[in-house]
Structure 1
Amino acid sequence: MWIPLLAVLTAGLVSLQKCPRGPAGPLLGVARLVAAVVVPGLCQRPDNRCALSNAGTCTSCLAVGPECGWCTQEDFMIGTKELKARCDTVVHLINRGCRADFIESPKVSVMVSRNEANIQVTPGEVSIQLRPGSEASFMLKVRPLEKYPVDLYYLVDVSASMHKNIEKLNSVGYDLSQKMKNISLDLHLGFGSYVDKTVSPYISIHPGRIHNQCSDYDLDCMPPHGYIHVLSLTDKIAEFRSVINKQKISGNIDTPEGGFDAMLQAAVCQSHIGWRKEAKRLLLMMTDQTSHLALDSKLAGIVIPNDGNCHLKDNVYVKATSMEHPSLGQLSEKLIDNNINVIFAVQGSQFHWYKDLLPLLPGTVARQIESQAANLGDLVVDAYKKLLSEVKIQVDNIDKDINVKVTALCPDGSRKTGLEGCKDVKSSAEILFNISITLKECGTGDRRTYVMVKPLGFNESTRVNINKRCACQCEEGIKSKRICVDEMSHDAQMSNCKGSVCGSSDEVSSEQCKMQKDHLICNGQGDCVAGKCICHKTKLGIIYGKYCEKDDFSCPHYLGNLCAGNGECEAGKCKCFAGWEGDRCQCSLSLQKHCINGNGQICSGRGTCLCGRCRCTEPSSLGRLCEFCPNCRTACSDKRNCAPCHSNSSQMTLDQCKTSCAYRVHYVEQSSECISDDPNHFRIFSIIFIVTFLIGLLIVLIIRQIILQWNNNKIKSSADYRISAKKKDNTFLPTVCTKTVTYRRDKPEDININTSKFQGNETFRCNS
């Protein structure tokens, strides 16, 4: 059906073109219009998703696919208002009469920086322009150097059970420096010690043991501590040995130690430790027990999450008793960010506990030390060689709209996909990684972002800047006065065009990325791009806000919710919404009614109300409402100056007295102090009197009845002991030794009883 129609239209158009000018002129224009609209549409292939998308804007057209383009030529498709006809493949748009310089179709580009400061990881910086659905690739080259400088920091558990291993460290420094000569010509050693958080139930807080936790071992111990940085990294082996000789042990009462707390501080406090930028950084953690993890510190009432920052003061960790232990994810992030490889040197059965953690902590190895750390020197050398032989890639700050694919081309010819990397790599061997980046969609995020590609354990990385071309330069291309979209900002600010050239906004100073002049750019948690902050991505949660000042992880929780769900987290503190207060926004302001005294004052004017309870700010005030204040000014002292005024002994005039010392009098009607004559009062009194009298009388009768009943029971019990003659037992017969004496009370008789002494050799007889 369509083929004959197409043939007729084509033949008609050819015949009309041969006609001379005249009445057929308008007909020729109509025919050309029909051919321009209908014929290309009939010739579209079914797989041309650009033309079939019905995209009505340039931005929606570019989002269809990387092969699509948008024609902004004003006289293109003249006579029709169908904007969807402007979206097609670039080739089809040109064939349909759109000039190439009026076609919006951003190209995918990869630009490698030529200013290379990196030595081991190249290139150092790559800039990529992507449009939705497009992909760009580049090669990353990693080449480890031979005999690279090494910084080795000993982080040692100094609990009482480790005292023999600590003594062995004295000889390790020199032996290790000799063994490392074949690997590195520049070795620096440092030392730090840790035990656990210095609160119950981790240590004994008994006054007799708080300063000497290891009294059970009959040893003189140093006080317990969370983490102490003892010696900064140095190449002076003698100084290292001197510090070890002076090191004392300490102790605690629970089995796990605070090793991860100390490890995070050793990783982030770079200036204190002395980590060198050009050196391979190794952290050797030496212990015989497991380590506490996040949430363990809740047993001690510590609920503030670890913020991952350095908190050393005079080389002592000062936040050990106020912040939680770090989580494994947080610890892994800080180790990678600071290019630190960890060697777990574990003695005893807890070795397998640390070995199971290795998949969660990239760039770490675990080794088992022998009794008294006899193999410690060989352990460090072997672990360092293993770390050098493995090259893995870590990709950070990945936006949800971006997909990154890594393929390792190992020296042995094998290809490894993902982040597995290459193993058994020899020194000075070159490893290639193919990095492919795809923009899945534009989403609602910023148009400029970046990802960091970093080989684990290396102090060099590659920054990949990504420019998302999601919108056209001029959105409404068919108008004479075009409106352009500034793609550099998330808010898509508008600016006018002159002709066909779009203006661009001036670069904004980085000062606009600071909340205050003395603050860090984007609070140190983001990058300033075109005057706006692009917040860093982290595994702990989301960092957001105009100046990256907010997050959803560093503030205290209440009932499982950050800031109780009634506030936002800013700089580690909860900023409560209207109507809420408290350090966790857990209290409603409606509770202030419990802080108001009888005079309508909050906490009697001597304190503040928090969560329905008064906190007295006046030092000498006390009480639930701060109502008692022995040393505060009283009403008499406040009005002392008014007494002379009203007694006419003051120099103040009458008007001044009335103004500054006016009487506060409330007049009431005069009433008699006598009992009112109201008959209701007498009636109430009479009723109360009668009721009271009757109740008293009833109580007296009850007590009397109880006493009578008790006496009757006593008399009856005495009569039970009398034996009636009639009731005597007739079966009773006197024995041969029984005498019955009968007498009369009216005629008493003298009874002489002569009792002779009974001789032991006489036979017992009854006297007659």
Structure 2
Amino acid sequence: MRIPRMRFNQRMCLILCVSSLLLLLHLEPALCQNSSYCEGAPTCGECISLDPACAWCAQEGYSSSGAPRCNVLSNHTDAGCQDISNPEGSYTIIQEDPLGDAGSSPINKTVQVSPQIIDLTLRPGETQSVTLNIRPAEDYPLDLYFVMDLSYSMSDDLKNLRTLGGVLARELLKLSSDVTMGFGSFVDKVTLPFIFSNQDLLKLVCDTCDPGFGFRNNLPLSANLDKFSEKLLSATYSSSNTAPEGGLDGIMQIAVCKEKIGWREGARHFLVYSSDSSFHVAGDASLGQIFSPNDGECHLDPTSNEYSKANEQDFPSIGHLNEKIALANIYPIFAVLDTVVPVYTKLSKLIKGSTVGVLAADSNNIVGIIKNQYKAITSRIELVDTAPDGITVYYTAHCGPGDTQPGVSLCTGLSLGDIVSFDLEITATACFDDVSTQSFTVKPVGFEETLTITVEVLCSCDCENEQVSGSDICEGNGALVCGECECNPGWFGQDCQCSGDTGSDDVSQCTGPDSVTVCSGRGECLCGQCQCFPRQDVEEIVSGPFCQCDNFSCDRFEGELCGGSQRGKCVCDEKTWTSKCQCKKGYTGNACQCPDTNDSCMASTGLICNGFGDCVCGVCQCDPEESFRGPSCEECGICVGDCGLYRECVLCKVFDEGRLSPEECDKCGMIITVEKTLVLYNNTLVCETLLPNNCTVKYFYETLSNGTVHVHVQKETECQRRGGAGVSAVNVAIGIIIAILLIGLLIVLLLRLYIWYLDKKEWAEFEKERSKAKWDTSTNPIYKPSTTKHTNPMYGKTVLMHVEKPEKGE
């Protein structure tokens, strides 16, 4: 009987669906049993350190069943293990005072960071998520220390600042009701070639200048703001020989001399640095025969309040200075002339929390700079941490409703009193050396309040502390630890049943299937088992049933075995009994040389290799046919601006065109706004690109204060704005080809017509000449007779001759 086609298809579909379901159910356990990453760990501690998915079976006699003791949890459960060691991480909040100002807080104290203390327990490779809430307090106490370059070139600025002291104090009181102000000054090291140490020489250069000095604390921070104005009025300038000044010496002393400067706890610390010149850095002091490095300690003389080690220690390095500024919770504001702004802008990028303001030639805008920079600094929150090696912190910023930024630890554009939060994903990548617990802090730049996180990394099992010495299971020759025997010296075997004195003439059990060498030549056959020779270096281990495996013959990356301890380690693969790299989470490859994600290839646009290349082993291989190069294929030497970076995202997001797939298009990380008409700013670079229909798209981009790129795209293409539909490049090419063919045919036709005209003209002339010819056809015109006849024309005619008569006398 013929089965109807539709019914047959339905039956086949049902059969296929059921078969697929049964196949998946059959394969799922096998997939779950892919535990090669866990297998091979000899102890419980090493097992749980491999990966959070690895667990240890401590049940006695379990290894005799052939199942590895280190395996994934589901495999142990399926195998019926009754004693599984699988410690899990934990998260405990120790202190969590709520956010609030001193008057509104339940503890009557200003709280800007919550929680304050957290304890974490992690296994290597495990991640715990912590949420940190931050609220910059309103009307928070303010400490402002003003340090000024008093070299001779700043004399005009000093005159103006003397009159602005009172104005500055009044403006700061508008920002906070609790203000302290201090004043310091610097010049340079008092030795050649920086400053003339001889006063007579100094007077020759500048007879009105005071003796030079390194740094002087003219006025510690004080709530008496009138004193600040008085100190400014009494300040005098000096002279130096070099254009860079010793300002970094002064900043270092301001940061480390907390008590002498007067920095208060529970206050925002601002340092205003004013200069018209660049600065000396570490190493410059060698010009003055000063070679001792800066020790980062306070050396303010109690009598003169001057830096007493100016001529004994080198200038501080920028990294050292950044560390001390962070510890003192100081916000530096560099108010400098426009000629040195580029130098201080680079310095600001290296010092967390610092900003740069352009100082007028006479410093009359210093009050405005301080107010503007204060608002700019308090409108941003940036987190920093002191996580030790073996701990990584990944940030996700929640700066406002709908404003979530993965991988970002900065929020900007805030107002005092706004609450922001950050998700911290804390991962233990390795065990700590010699200790199991370490603490570190996470804090906003410039804040005194911190989140303290104590992390315990689990690298050992509880059962390892419960060993049974002289266990009967171990024949009395070893200790039972986590279900396995640890044999006493001289004993070996699964149950410690063999000793060094036990011999065997039969070495067949000690020879591998593909070898004729007993114990691979790296051991001795005792009691029917290979006893591998120990290495002189205790860290190198020879193992395997035939001593064919070791932990030092794996591939190397950058000269280190398996890329180093942070990437992986060399283990014995119990399936193949060969040495191979066991990579840690985050790495892959035969030498753990490659990251297992494409994060290192991610461009600023959110695309892998910017959409112009492929990520191979964590490195971008840029498309050779494109103009983009660099680590993430973002550098274009022939491009104008960054138009090319955002071209593909604009095409796919707005016009559904371009080379990006829908998945890649979704990863475009910039904000794209479609506008009817582009509203351009000053010096805005307008980008243009073509659609496949040859229509022009216009757009421009800007970088927001939080680092996000905002692209503005004109809604209508140039074709639409002109009312045309646009002509595709293919149609243009076809039209050109047809036009060339038509022109060629026309030329050939014209040539043929011209030749025909010439032929016709010549034929007409020929016919005309032929019609005029009169030929005598009776005689051959070219015949010549053999005789010649001459006729006398006068023959037969009478000739009359007239003779004249001569004259007489002739």
Change (3 A) 1:461 1:478: closer
Deviation string 1:712-731 (CA, Å, 9 cap, x unpaired) is: xxxxxxxxxxxxxxxxxxxx
**Displacement of 1:284 after TM fit?**
0.5
Query: Which residue in 2 is equivalent to 1:353?
Result: 343
Deviation string 1:602-632 (CA, Å, 9 cap, x unpaired) is: xxxxxxxxxxxxxxxxxxxxxxxxxxxxxxx
Residues 107-506 of structure 1 mapped to structure 2, 5 A cutoff: 107-114=88-95, 116=97, 119-206=111-198, 208-209=200-201, 213=202, 215-219=204-208, 221-314=209-302, 315-396=305-386, 398-411=387-400, 413-442=402-431, 444=433, 446-475=435-464, 479=468
For 1:375 and 1:42, the matched residues in 2 are separated by: 72
For 1:291 and 1:127, the matched residues in 2 are separated by: 43
Deviation string 1:566-623 (CA, Å, 9 cap, x unpaired) is: xxxxxxxxxxxxxxxxxxxxxxxxxxxxxxxxxxxxxxxxxxxxxxxxxxxxxxxxxx
SS of equivalent residue, structure 1 residue 368: strand
Could you tell me which of 46, 63, 78 is aligned with 2:49? 63
Could you tell me which of 71, 77, 80 is aligned with 1:88? 71
TM-score scaled to structure 1, two decimals?
A: 0.54
SS of equivalent residue, structure 1 residue 208: helix
For 1:113 and 1:476, the matched residues in 2 are separated by: 28
What is the one-letter code of the residue matched to 2:410?
A: G
**Does the 8 Å CA contact 1:50/1:89 hold for their aligned counterparts?**
no
For 1:214 and 1:442, the matched residues in 2 are separated by: 65
**Displacement of 1:55 after TM fit?**
2.1
For 1:207 and 1:417, the matched residues in 2 are separated by: 60
Query: Which residue in 2 is equivalent to 1:576?
Result: none
SS of equivalent residue, structure 2 residue 173: helix
For 1:71 and 1:235, the matched residues in 2 are separated by: 67
**Displacement of 1:443 after TM fit?**
5.8
**Does the 8 Å CA contact 1:72/1:478 hold for their aligned counterparts?**
no
For 1:150 and 1:159, the matched residues in 2 are separated by: 28
Deviation string 1:29-86 (CA, Å, 9 cap, x unpaired) is: xxxxxxxxxxxx996546532685132210121122112221223x3528x286x632
**Does the 8 Å CA contact 1:50/1:65 hold for their aligned counterparts?**
no
Query: Which residue in 1 is equivalent to 2:39?
Result: 53
Change (3 A) 1:71 1:420: closer
Change (3 A) 1:52 1:225: closer
Change (3 A) 1:223 1:412: farther
- Unmatched tracts of structure 1, length 5 or more: 1-40, 486-768
Deviation string 1:618-652 (CA, Å, 9 cap, x unpaired) is: xxxxxxxxxxxxxxxxxxxxxxxxxxxxxxxxxxx
Query: Which residue in 2 is equivalent to 1:501?
Result: none
**Displacement of 1:422 after TM fit?**
1.1
What is the one-letter code of the residue matched to 1:311?
A: H
Deviation string 1:359-410 (CA, Å, 9 cap, x unpaired) is: 11121111112132211111111110000111111112x2232221111111
For 1:394 and 1:77, the matched residues in 2 are separated by: 48
**Does the 8 Å CA contact 1:156/1:192 hold for their aligned counterparts?**
yes
What is the one-letter code of the residue matched to 1:405?
A: Y
Change (3 A) 1:121 1:443: closer
The 10-residue stretch of structure 1 (123-132 or 173-182) with the greater mean CA deviation from structure 2: 173-182
Deviation string 1:273-323 (CA, Å, 9 cap, x unpaired) is: 110111110000111110101111111122222121212221221111111
**Does the 8 Å CA contact 1:160/1:214 hold for their aligned counterparts?**
no
What is the one-letter code of the residue matched to 1:113?
A: I
What is the one-letter code of the residue matched to 1:57?
A: T
For 1:302 and 1:444, the matched residues in 2 are separated by: 39
Change (3 A) 1:181 1:478: closer
What is the one-letter code of the residue matched to 1:112?
A: I
**Does the 8 Å CA contact 2:437/2:457 hold for their aligned counterparts?**
yes
For 1:119 and 1:359, the matched residues in 2 are separated by: 29
Change (3 A) 1:145 1:442: same
**Displacement of 1:415 after TM fit?**
2.5
SS of equivalent residue, structure 1 residue 474: helix
**Displacement of 1:243 after TM fit?**
1.6
What is the one-letter code of the residue matched to 2:92?
A: M
For 2:307 and 2:454, the matched residues in 1 are separated by: 37
Change (3 A) 1:158 1:207: closer
SS of equivalent residue, structure 1 residue 452: strand
1:77 paired with 2:62, answer yes
Deviation string 1:443-500 (CA, Å, 9 cap, x unpaired) is: 6453211221110111111111110101112328674677899xxxxxxxxxxxxxxx
**Displacement of 1:261 after TM fit?**
0.9
For 2:480 and 2:453, the matched residues in 1 are separated by: 31
For 2:384 and 2:37, the matched residues in 1 are separated by: 40
- Unmatched tracts of structure 2, length 5 or more: 1-26, 98-108, 472-478, 483-810
For 1:467 and 1:356, the matched residues in 2 are separated by: 39
**Does the 8 Å CA contact 1:475/1:483 hold for their aligned counterparts?**
no
**Displacement of 1:179 after TM fit?**
1.8
What is the one-letter code of the residue matched to 2:155?
A: H
**Does the 8 Å CA contact 1:50/1:68 hold for their aligned counterparts?**
no
For 2:118 and 2:194, the matched residues in 1 are separated by: 50
What is the one-letter code of the residue matched to 2:72?
A: T
Change (3 A) 1:447 1:411: same
**Displacement of 1:249 after TM fit?**
1.2
SS of equivalent residue, structure 1 residue 435: strand
SS of equivalent residue, structure 2 residue 50: coil
For 2:146 and 2:233, the matched residues in 1 are separated by: 14
| Percent identity over paired residues | 31
What is the one-letter code of the residue matched to 1:257?
A: E
Change (3 A) 1:401 1:162: same
Aligned residues: 436
Change (3 A) 1:236 1:42: closer
For 1:115 and 1:273, the matched residues in 2 are separated by: 32
Residues 589-608 of structure 1 mapped to structure 2, 5 A cutoff: none
For 1:426 and 1:322, the matched residues in 2 are separated by: 45
For 1:384 and 1:207, the matched residues in 2 are separated by: 41
Residues 501-520 of structure 1 mapped to structure 2, 5 A cutoff: none
The 10-residue stretch of structure 1 (247-256 or 199-208) with the greater mean CA deviation from structure 2: 199-208
**Displacement of 1:207 after TM fit?**
5.1
SS of equivalent residue, structure 2 residue 331: strand
For 1:446 and 1:406, the matched residues in 2 are separated by: 26
**Does the 8 Å CA contact 2:290/2:312 hold for their aligned counterparts?**
yes
**Does the 8 Å CA contact 2:38/2:51 hold for their aligned counterparts?**
no
Deviation string 1:104-130 (CA, Å, 9 cap, x unpaired) is: 211111111235387101111111111
Query: Which residue in 1 is equivalent to 2:792?
Result: none
